[in-house]
């Protein structure tokens, strides 16, 4: 469903991603792992069209490399950005509506909204609350629900567990499993390797902009080199 070929991302003199190739099949959950600065967010940003890159990004057999981020969302790929980035001064309901704005008709959104309010009941109780006043875990749930309102077939989650208490992280991962069961294709970016590998089918491990290891999640979990890979060793 997603094919990334020889992706290179440069920021001035810095090369953050050095020729990365990734494939994600329909219905798969694929983890993108690696330490701080490995290039994970740069890959995600390039895949969704938010930073310039060279190489090729294809989605559903179609080259999307030259599409704008909005056109890519319309093509049914979407990202839950690192740090959540909900619209703090808008209410929960308004955030959800914005997530669905690429859908043509407003009333088409209702069924979708009900579905994600059922999944995240905490949001239903807070529809009129400003998103900026939600707790970190609630903001992450809103960010996921907002992304799902665009009816993606590919959902990219950039470090959904970042800065959250272990109990909340466990709940976020339960929700990811629930989304996975619904059949959506997921790319899960995480530093939290063990937890990500527990829900992923396959994983790529990056450091300094290069893929160091790729394989089935179960295999990686048992790999004695994992601790080393987690801190950027080869
Ligand atoms: N906008 C930018 N301008 C310049 N350099 C950048 C920019 N964004 C990222 N970088 C650099 O690119 C490299 C990769 O950063 P990136 O954010 O992709 O890593 P990451 O794997 O997502 O890290 P983290 O786990 O900390 O989020 C880093 O060296 C970073 O300093
Ligand atoms: Mg990042």
Q: What tens digit of pLDDT does each residue of 185-195 get? A: 999 999 989 89
Q: 160 and 201 in one domain?
A: yes
What six digits make up the tokens of 70? 């909005």
What are the tokens at 123?
């949001």
Same-domain pairing of 52 and 156: yes
If asked whether residues 163 and 134 sit together in one domain, one would say: no
Range of the domain at 108: 87-151
| 169 and 226 belong to one structural domain | yes
Give whole-number Cα distances, 174 to 68, 89, 152, 170, 229, in Å.
Answer: 32, 28, 19, 6, 25
Tokens 């959950």 label which residue? 29
E-strand ranges in 72-207 read 77-80, 154-158, 185-190, 202-207
CA of residue 189 to ligand 2 center, whole Å = 8
Number of domains the chain contains = 2
Tell me whether strands 154-158 and 77-80 are parallel, antiparallel or unpaired. Answer: parallel
DSSP state of 160: T
Write the residue with the smallest CA distance to atom 7 of ligand 1. Answer: 11
Query: What are the tens digits of pLDDT across the range 167-183?
Result: 999 999 999 999 999 99
pLDDT at 124 over 70: yes
**pLDDT, tens digit, for every residue of 196-215?**
999 999 999 999 999 999 99
Do 119 and 70 lie in a common domain?
no
Judgement on whether residues 56 and 166 belong to the same structural domain of the protein: yes
Domain membership of residue 81 (yes or no) is no
Instruction: Read off the DSSP letter of residue 31.
Output: E
3 C-alpha to center of ligand 2: Å? 20
Same domain, 16 and 101: no
CA atoms within 13 A on the CB side of 24: 28
- Output the CA torsion 186→118→173→210 (10° steps): 30
Asked if residue 233 has pLDDT above 60, the reply is no
Domain end call among 151, 180, 202 = 151
How far apart are the C-alpha atoms of 43 and 152, rounded to whole Å? 18
Measured N-to-C along each axis, helices 109-119 and 136-148 cross at an angle, to the nearest 10 degrees, of 150
Query: Which one-letter DSSP state was computed for residue 184?
Result: -
- For a ligand 1 pocket test, name from 13, 14, 193 the mutation site with the most ligand atoms within 8 angstroms of its C-beta: 14
CATH number of the CATH domain containing 173: 3.40.50.300
In angstroms, the CA 215 to CA 201 distance is 9
Domain contains 39: yes
CA of 130 to the centre of ligand 2 (A): 26
Q: Which of 31, 32, 39, 84 to mutate for ligand 1's pocket (most ligand atoms within 8 Å of CB)?
A: 39
Residue 107 lies in a domain: yes
Judge if 147 and 198 occupy the same domain: no
pLDDT per residue as tens digits for the range 70-115? 999 989 999 999 988 899 999 999 999 998 887 656 667 778 899 9
- Answer yes or no: is pLDDT of 234 > 60: no
Percent above pLDDT 70 for the chain: 95
Name the domain boundary from 96, 125, 151: 151
Structure-block tokens of residue 83? 């740090």
Q: Tell me which ligand sits closest to the C-alpha of residue 40.
A: 1
Greatest CA separation for the chain = 52
Can you give the pTM of this predicted structure?
0.94
For residues 59 and 100, state if they share a domain.
no
Residues 98 and 191 grouped into a single domain: no
Do 131 and 166 fall within a single domain? no
Q: Are residues 145 and 161 in the same domain?
A: no
């Amino acid at each position: 469903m997603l094919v990334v070929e020889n992706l290179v991302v440069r920021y001035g003199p810095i090369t953050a991603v050095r020729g990365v190739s990734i494939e994600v099949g329909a219905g798969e959950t694929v983890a993108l792992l690696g330490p701080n600065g490995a290039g994970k967010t740069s890959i995600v940003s390039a895949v969704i069209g938010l930073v310039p890159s060279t190489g090729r990004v294809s989605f559903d057999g179609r080259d999307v490399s030259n599409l704008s981020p909005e056109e890519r969302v319309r093509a049914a790929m979407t990202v839950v950005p690192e740090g959540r980035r909900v619209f703090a001064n808008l209410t929960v309901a308004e955030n959800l509506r914005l997530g669905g704005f690429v859908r043509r008709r407003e009333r088409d959104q209702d069924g979708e909204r009900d579905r994600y309010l059922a999944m995240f009941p905490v949001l239903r109780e807070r529809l009129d609350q400003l998103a900026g006043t939600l707790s970190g875990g609630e903001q992450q749930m809103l960010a996921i629900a907002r992304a799902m309102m665009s009816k993606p077939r590919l959902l990219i989650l950039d470090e959904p567990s970042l800065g959250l208490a272990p109990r909340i992280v466990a709940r976020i991962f339960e929700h990811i499993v629930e989304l996975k069961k619904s059949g959506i294709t997921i790319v899960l970016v995480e530093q939290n390797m063990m937890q990500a590998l527990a829900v992923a089918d396959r994983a790529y491990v990056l450091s300094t902009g290069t893929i160091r290891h790729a394989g089935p999640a179960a295999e990686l979990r048992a790999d004695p080199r994992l601790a080393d890979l987690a801190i950027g060793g080869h």
